Amino acid sequence: MIDVTVAMPVYNARDIIWLALESLCNQVTEYKWELIVAEEKHDKMIEDDILSRYEKRLRKAGCESIKYLEYENWIPLSIKWKHIGEHSDINSKVFMLHASDCYSSKDRIQEAGDSIIMEGFDWVDYSNGFFYNLMTNQMIQYSASARTNLDMSFKTEYARTIPFVMVKKGVDNFLITHCIRKNLNFKKKQINDLKMDSIDTDGMNNISMKRKECYDHIRYPFIETDVTLDDLELPEMVKRTLSHNNKSNGQSI
């Protein structure tokens, strides 16, 4: 029985999706989960066998099912979220949004499941987190209490009814607005812990490539940090690969 759906829309992620998959392989959780990847055909689409190469390790981490949704042409992110929601397992209770260029803390699935299944929250996200620029080796810290923050998850029942709306900007706001409309007693949980075994990256994905100026001119929702990549509690091979800006072409490290 599936408890959690890990939803991963990808685009231009061939050289960085290994990072997200590595973090999923290292999850420590009692919940059973599925991974659904959605991608359109394009020059930098992920390699055909990348998911199968990770399958054994993903299953050891509690992944019961891997699904791949492919589209002929580009579609907005909002529609990808809708389609992933529609393809989620009938028993899934948690819809966990996962970027292809982020490394999740080992307890992310567990905390999402506990917050939504056990505690009854409709939405959970994190107010703190590190961002690392792969091109410049710069690090900044996200620190905010916004309407939506990092590492978002919400009830899968809401994901199944995401409306067919072509949203190109403000997709996170679109999602939480939809969730609030589904439940007038909407309850949001914000986790303030700063995870030392998690990192968001910039430089190898569509949205993240536009954030370069935030490292040079730090402003809200970011703050300066003395933490370096070496300080993080990530696997040594992950840190070494990131620091060398090694485009691994989807290869498992």
Residue with tokens 């914000």: 190
Order of strands, edge to edge, in the sheet holding 139-143?
102-103, 199-202, 128-133, 139-143, 222-223
Contact 7, 36 (CB under 8 A): yes
The number of folded domains in the chain is 1
pLDDT tens, residue by residue, 134-173? 999 999 999 999 999 999 999 999 999 999 999 989 999 9
The encoded tokens of residue 242 equal 């990131």
Q: Partners of 191 in the beta sheet?
A: 126
246 has a pLDDT exceeding 50: no
The encoded tokens of residue 245 equal 């800006």
pLDDT tens, residue by residue, 106-139? 999 999 999 999 999 999 999 999 999 999 999 9
pLDDT tens, residue by residue, 54-83? 999 999 999 999 999 999 999 999 999 999
Question: Average per-residue pLDDT in the chain?
Answer: 94
Residue 200 belongs to some domain of the structure: no
Residue 199 belongs to some domain of the structure: no
Residue 161 belongs to some domain of the structure: yes
Given pLDDT bands bounded at 50, 70 and 90, which one contains residue 205?
low
Q: pTM of whole model > 0.75?
A: yes
More confident residue, 104 or 253: 104
* Residue 125 CB contacts under 8 Å (≥ 6 apart), including other chains: 148, 149, 150, 151, 152, 153, 188, 189, 190, 191
Residue 189 and residue 2: Cα distance in Å, rounded?
Answer: 22
Contact 112, 4 (CB under 8 A): yes
Residue 62 belongs to some domain of the structure: yes
CB atoms within 10 A of CB 127: 17
Residue 230 belongs to some domain of the structure: no
Given pLDDT bands bounded at 50, 70 and 90, which one contains residue 210?
low
Instruction: Report, as an integer, the average pLDDT of 15-21.
Output: 97
Residue 135 belongs to some domain of the structure: no
Residue 68 belongs to some domain of the structure: yes
Provide the total of helices (H) and of strands (E) in the chain, helices listed first: 8, 12
Which 8-state DSSP code applies to residue 197?
A: T
Residue 246 belongs to some domain of the structure: no
Reported in sequence order, the residue ranges of the chain that DSSP labels E, i.e. its strands, are 4-9, 33-40, 63-71, 94-97, 102-103, 123-126, 128-133, 139-143, 150-155, 188-191, 199-202, 222-223
pLDDT tens, residue by residue, 130-144? 999 999 999 999 999
Q: Partners of 66 in the beta sheet?
A: 35
3-state DSSP percent of the chain in helix, strand and coil, to 5: 30, 25, 45
The CATH number covering residue 179 comes to 3.90.550.10
Of all helices (H) and strands (E), which one includes residue 172? helix 171-182
**Three-state DSSP class for 39?**
strand
Query: Residue 252: what pLDDT?
Result: 43
Instruction: Report, as an integer, the average pLDDT of 224-235.
Output: 97
Residue 192, Cβ density class (10 Å: 0-12 exposed, 13-18 middle, ≥19 buried): exposed
Contact 40, 75 (CB under 8 A): yes
Q: How much of the chain exceeds pLDDT 90, in percent? A: 89
In angstroms and rounded to an integer, the radius of gyration of the C-alpha atoms of the chain is: 17
253 has a pLDDT exceeding 70: no
Q: Which domain holds residue 44?
A: 4-127+147-193
